[in-house]
Amino acid sequence: MTIDGHAENTIETQDLTMVYRSGKVEVVALREINLSVRKGEFLAIMGPSGCGKSTLLHLLGGLIQPTGGKIVIDGTDISRLSDAERTAVRRRKIGYVFQRFNLLPTISARGNIELAKRIHGSGHSLSNGSGAVIDMLGLREKLGFRPTELSGGEQQRVAIARAVITQPAIILADEPTGSLDSRNSRAVLRVLQDLNEKLKQTIVMITHDAEAASVASRVVEMRDGQILSHPAHGAYEPEFEGLF
């Protein structure tokens, strides 16, 4: 199922709208967003704080339900699905990478990665074809460590491994370099770039950082709940530099 009939689109939104209500107060977070992401594309979404980037990412991941419009993820319209059905879509098709890594602190790196497989239903151990991802992320020697024993960069690589280990159709990355120093940021961006180029992984990344956005194959800018531009790769000049 696609909205514009393009079979290669992994993500499509049509007039996607999100309004938060608190009593009689309504806050429009997203206004009729129309966005398509092709299979294997690396899309960066930039914009100032409060522009709706995170809301858009939550909607794409099925964590919340839109108040209007459609979201098609890998052929499935998730906008009208129940919470349980959206959870199932997320489990099968989406991997999340967060700014604050969000690893479970009580278990090791291996445990965190295996947990994703267990939830996904694709096994309980890292034996089945998981070695390539672990090696690619340089985590072989770090699997036994707990998150608190790892550096920020290492934690984020574990989080990326957790996101990709179940081979989801889409990786949604929410400011993945936001908590890292420049050296670790570059390393994580390189990993994401490798995943996109070598494994043809579709990635949607939201970021404040123009340098981070530069590794994407396409960058769009958001402001006030709307997408401002769809510039081609390399032609992007952020309009909101200095706002944060």
> 110 or 208, CB closer to other proteins?
110
Footprint of other proteins on 74-133 (CB under 8 A): 84, 87-88, 90-92, 94, 96, 98, 102-108, 110-111, 114-116, 118-120, 124-125
Q: List the x/- string, 128-167, binding to other proteins by CB under 8 A.
A: ----------------------------------x-----
Do 73 and 93 form a contact (C-beta atoms < 8 A)?
A: yes
Sites for other proteins among residues 7-46 (CB under 8 A): none
- β-strands 218-223, 42-46: how paired? parallel
Looking at the Cβ atoms of 90 and 142, the one nearer to other proteins is 90
Which residue lies nearer to other proteins by CB, 125 or 182?
Answer: 125
The nearest distance, CB 117 to other proteins, in angstroms, is 9
Q: Is 182 in the site for other proteins (CB under 8 A)?
A: no
Residue 58 C-beta: closest distance to other proteins, Å: 5
User: Shortest Cβ distance from residue 111 to other proteins (Å)?
Assistant: 4
Nearer to other proteins, 126 or 213 (CB): 126
Is 61 one of the binding residues for other proteins (CB under 8 A)? Answer: yes
With CA atoms as reference, report the closest residue to 206 among 221, 191, 196, 195: 221
The residue count for binding other proteins (CB under 8 A) is 31
Secondary structure of the chain as H, E, C letters: CCCCCCCCEEEEEEEEEEEEEECCEEEEEEEEEEEEEECCCEEEEECCCCCCHHHHHHHHCCCCCCCEEEEEECCEECCCCCHHHHHHHHHHHEEEECCCCCCCCCCCHHHHHHHHHHHHCCCCCCCCCCHHHHHHCCCHHHCCCCHHHCCHHHHHHHHHHHHHCCCCCEEEEECCCCCCCHHHHHHHHHHHHHHHHHCCCEEEEEECCHHHHCCCCEEEEEECCEEEECCCCCCCCCCCCCCC
Question: Of 3, 28, 63, 169, which lies in the binding site for other proteins, with binding defined by CB under 8 A?
Answer: 63
In the bound state with other proteins, the residue whose beta carbon lies nearer, of 81 and 107, is: 107
Whole-number Å distance between alpha carbons of 43 and 181: 22
Q: In this structure, how many other beta carbons lie within 10 angstroms of the beta carbon of residue 63?
A: 16
In the list 64, 81, 210, 228, the residue contacting other proteins (rule: CB under 8 A) is: 64
| C-beta closer to other proteins: residue 74 or 114 | 114
Site residues, other proteins (CB under 8 A): 58, 61, 63-64, 84, 87-88, 90-92, 94, 96, 98, 102-108, 110-111, 114-116, 118-120, 124-125, 162
